[in-house]
Structure 1
Amino acid sequence: MTDAVLARETNRRQLQHIISGLSDGVILVEVDQTIIWANEAALLMHGVNEVSELGADGGAYRERFSLRYRNNHPLDPDQYPISRVAAGEEFSDVLVEVSRVGDEEDRSRVHRVRSMVLSDSSGEPESLVLIMADATEWASAEQRFEKTFNANPAPAVICRLSDLRFIKVNQGFLEMTGHSRENVIGRSVYEVDVLENAERKDLAIERLNAGATIPQMQAELKMPEGGTKLVIVAGQPLDMNEEDCMLFSFIDLEARRKAETALRQSEERFAKTFKLTPVPIMVCTADRQQIVDANEAFLSTLGFTTLEMIGKTVAEMDFLDKGKDAVQLFDILEKSGHIEGVDFKVRKKSGEIMHCVLAADTVTIQDAACYLFVFMDITERKRSELELVEAIETVMKDASWFSQTLIEKLANAKRVNGQNLPTASFTDLTARERDVLGLICEGLADKEIASRLNLALNTIRNHVATVYSKLDVHSRAEAIVWARERHLFASQGTKKR
């Protein structure tokens, strides 16, 4: 053995001794691709115990181990790290998945490989070295990130900070924008501008260039087919494959914007309808009955101004005649949520009484429950009806002259929809008053009732007046209808003449 060969072997043994305990895997290769040595870490990374199990040379190694890039493409024979280093090529950070031939589905081993070519004093390659790090855990974490990133419904893209080009895009972003994957990957943030019309765009660009966190802000993304979409965008710096990157994530606000636009348009239509409707309308809160709005028809009809009404309670304004009935109105609204067609009296600012048909319903205004009241002025109609009834009653003082049908029609003309509010009970009457009411329903006049009950005429007239007062009626016809509505004295016939 020559001195040169001995020196070389000595150097190799010293090199092997130095590197045998390293955590990185090391394989020594001859120029002819003969594998001459590997440390324990390199054997472990290949799942073998002896150097011979790696194969005698590069060809045997390729027969035993299948190498693929991370994009799932298999390496050609001349692309294997052992072939490249034997060709004198120095490289770094070659990432490959390593599996046994025949068991290519097992890609649990991932190596990050680099090469070294050690030359002798004459500059000729003397030792070829493959240095590999176990990147399996890193690759597993990256794979989990890939799956999470792609499966995440929240739209997201990732760009490299070195050239600001997109390297990843998930399905959520493609669905939100309508872009294709090919239209995003490889393009810059200026071509697919994710900070389009951002409310703090200067700050976002400053943070992007500095590789710092970009706070949440509203922006409008341009769609490939035209138009824009309102989003919230934020940026988070991260490291991918040892490259500084920026993860942009988005929240789609377009649905909310459409809902807000529809709500605003609905509110505008309601406001216009409310203001322009010629029928008096008033709105008050459900809890305190505080007036929050009234249309022009309401104000002009009752003679109040906006300043006089808004903020005051219904009780303070005292425009609903008969306070007790007003309390009943709100009790009914609280229980049923609405009132339809109630005959009611409203007091104007001047003190004049206006007859109305009142309807009310529950509405929500700015998340607060309110009552909306609609008043239909029937004062003239009421006056005409009462005048008609009074004219007939003046001519025909005795109810016995009327058929039952006519009596009911007359009473109904005076009590339009009055049955919607609670009235007096039959039990409020005394026994004698019930007798009198029963004889009225038979169609008897006061003299006939006095004769039937063997009482003085004035006494009967007093009983009749008391019955009218308790039942809140004003004529025999109304008293008869009141009783018939409650199915009282149903077996008693009414005289007809």
Structure 2
Amino acid sequence: MAKTKAPRAARDHGQLQQLISGLGEGIVLVDLDETILWANEAALAMHGVEALTDLGKDMSEYRERFRLTYRNNHPIKEGTFPVEKVIAGEASGEITVEVSPADAPETEWTQTIRCFVITDKENVPDYLVLVLRDETARFEAEGRFESAFNANPAPAIICRLADLCFVRVNRGFLELTGCRNEDLVGQSIYAFDILADRGDRETALNCLREGRTIPQREATLTLPDGRRKSVIVAGQPIEVSDEPCMLFTFVDLDPRNRAERASRHSEERFSKAFDLSPVALAICNFDRLDFLNVNAAFARLTGYAEEQVIARNPRDLKLWAEADTQKTMLDALKADGNIVGLDVGLSTADGAPVDCLIAADTITLNDQSCVLLVIQDIGEQKRTEAELVAAIEAVMADTSWFSRGIVEKLGTLRQTSRRNIPSAETASLTNRERDVLDLVCEGQSDAEMAATLCLSPHTIRNHLTSLYRKIGVKRRAAAIAWARDCGIVHGKRTPKASGGKKG
């Protein structure tokens, strides 16, 4: 480049300097001999200095005071800086560099640099202009985005809109698909179809081409090993390095599908066991025991078809022989969450009485608190016991031909049978149940027993329910009679003569 200009004193750039001094971009004027002539405030601020002399006398001093590297940390070799290339007669495009003071390398700015030749009216080169644009904030934001994108465990991939090729992929997507980074970056969305099996695939592709949001919807990814994976995919327009792109995010549906299959299989197993059970079963709501479902054994036991009981209440159906059964059950469920071995009377659809043993537990179905009710018919058991007692008493009517040992054993068997349920032996009663039985024999009411034992009336009722179940009775009078038969008076067993008639 010819250097045939007039002496510096004869050249005045005052008007140009006034024009560009307030620009947001940094402007540096450089003479053809690489002397730094002038810089605006923006250019000084981009180097962290206040005076033109702090930049250096010429480009050689500038290089000594500031370290210039490409963004990959490779240094800019001598002769390749835009000013040097233009002076050498070479074309110089825009470059992005990292600039840091030589004495403070931890301070760094990112700048985009362009270089122009200014000619005079005879078209003779006059000086050079460096145009600097501070890209520090933008590249820092992009760096934060890159870090967040790569660290995000949610699978994601970025597609460039200009050619519909993938330009970024994060670790989450690589782990989801089993692909490698090099398998995806540079590939077209048609080569690795992330929108396959979407019901609106063509609409989604049109949104992609036009840079519009793609709503989330289920799709299928074909993995490198040939397997297919169900996902939810959505697209959001973004810019990456000033290029319009689409950020695709994914949700793996396999865990949800496995959970749904397991839940479905569990429900199927429960439903089969419920329907095929030989014991009467019912599912009720927790608040009122309204029937939600019953099995075939329930229909056989009660005489009510399923459609006759669904959404109806046992009390409204007059299913319980005793009016307070419903309240007893609800109180026990709310206090303990379950019922074990409650002896109740049941009335069938045609009014026939049935002796039953009830168990219940709380369960959750479709996020609703429910009660699983198990109803066992013990009428045959009680009839068998009654027949056994009658047979024993018939035999005991004439024991003259039995030995004393056999008579004593028959007497014991008769006493045991009269207690109805084998677990009703006095040894099976807890100390508290014995106390309650004593007070029942004394004729105390629930409230009086609660005061005597320092317990709540509700707890007294629970002990009474357990006591009645163990000794096989339903009423206080029967409990007192049972205690009398067992020789229990106020908690103490009285001696009873054993044996029968002597022949």
Bin the TM-score by the shorter chain.
Answer: 0.7 to 0.9
1:383–1:133 Cα change, 3 Å? same
User: Counterpart in 2 of 1:106?
Assistant: 107
Displacement of 1:363 after TM fit?
1.0
Check the 8 A contact 1:25/1:131 in 2, yes or no. yes
Pair 1:369-2:375 in alignment: no
Q: Which amino acid aligns with 1:71?
A: N
C-alpha distance 227-372 of structure 1, shift in aligned 2 (>3 A): same
Q: CA deviation at 1:228?
A: 4.0
- Residue 213 of structure 1 contacts residue 236 of structure 1 at CA under 8 Å; is this kept in 2? yes
For the 8 Å contact 2:442–2:490, the answer to whether it is kept is no
Question: Which residue pairs with 2:47 in the alignment?
Answer: 46
The separation in 2 between residues aligned to 1:24 and 1:333, in whole angstroms, is 78
Cα distance in 1 for partners of 2:357, 2:391 equals: 24
Further displaced range: 385-394 or 315-324? 315-324
Q: Per-residue deviation at 1:389? A: 0.6
Q: Could you say what secondary structure the match of 1:186 adopts?
A: coil
- Does the CA-based 8 Å contact 2:274-2:295 persist in structure 1? yes
SS in 1 for 2:258: helix
- Note if contact 1:471-1:479 (Cα within 8 Å) is conserved in structure 2: no
In 1: Cα distance, 2:311 partner to 2:28 partner: 88
Alpha-carbon contact 2:154-2:251 (below 8 Å) kept: yes
Distance 1:258 1:77, change over 3 A: farther
Change in 2 beyond 3 A, CA 1:160/1:59: same
Tell me the SS of whatever aligns to 2:319: coil
Report the alpha carbon displacement of residue 229 of structure 1 after superposing the two structures with TM: 4.0
Question: How far 1:167 moved relative to its partner?
Answer: 2.5
Q: How does 1:60-459 map to 2 (within 5 A)?
A: 60-107=61-108, 109-118=109-118, 125-396=125-396, 405-412=412-419, 414-415=420-421, 427=439
Judged with a 3 Å threshold, the aligned counterparts in structure 2 of structure 1 residues 368 and 196 are, in CA distance, closer, same or farther, namely: same
Where do residues 479-494 of structure 1 align in structure 2 (5 Å cutoff)?
A: 479-481=484-486, 484=488, 488-494=490-496
TM-score normalized with structure 2 length: 0.77
**Deviation of the 1:274 alpha carbon:** 1.1
Note if contact 2:231-2:253 (Cα within 8 Å) is conserved in structure 1. Answer: yes
Structure 1, residues 370-402: CA drift from partner, whole Å, max 9, x if none?
111223333333322210111212443699975
SS in 2 for 1:346: strand
5+ residue gaps, structure 2: 444-472
Structure 1 residue ranges, 4+ long, deviating more than 6 angstroms after superposition: 120-124, 397-401
SS at match of 2:413: helix
Which amino acid is the alignment partner of residue 25 of structure 2? D
Give the CA deviation at 1:55.
Answer: 4.0
CA distance in 1, matches of 2:442, 2:59: 120
Which whole-Å CA distance do the structure 1 matches of 2:350 and 2:377 have between them?
16
Once the two structures are aligned, what percentage of the paired residues are identical?
A: 39
Amino acid in structure 2 at the alignment position of 1:305: A
TM-score, normalised by the number of residues in structure 1? 0.78
Question: For residues 491 and 127 of structure 2, what CA distance do their matches in structure 1 show?
Answer: 124
Give the 3 Å change call, closer, same or farther, for CA 409–280 of structure 1 in structure 2: same
Cα distance in 2 for partners of 1:244, 1:354 equals 78
Give the superposed CA RMSD. Answer: 3.8
Q: Is the 8 A contact 1:160 1:244 kept in 2?
A: yes
Tell me, which stretches of 5 or more residues in structure 1 are unaligned? 432-466
Letter in 1 for 2:258: K
* Displacement after TM superposition at 1:15 (Å): 4.0
CA contact (8 A) 1:67 1:80 kept: no
| In 1, Cα distance between equivalents of 2:366 and 2:484 | 46
Per-residue displacement from partner, 1:56-85 (whole Å, max 9, x unpaired)? Answer: 544443333222233333333344333333
How far apart, in 2, do the equivalents of 1:240 and 1:378 lie? 77
Deviates more, 1:243-252 or 1:292-301: 243-252
Asked if the contact 1:29/1:86 (under 8 Å) is kept, the reply is no
Q: Deviations over 1:83-122 (max 9, x none)?
A: 3333334445422110123533322x12111122345688
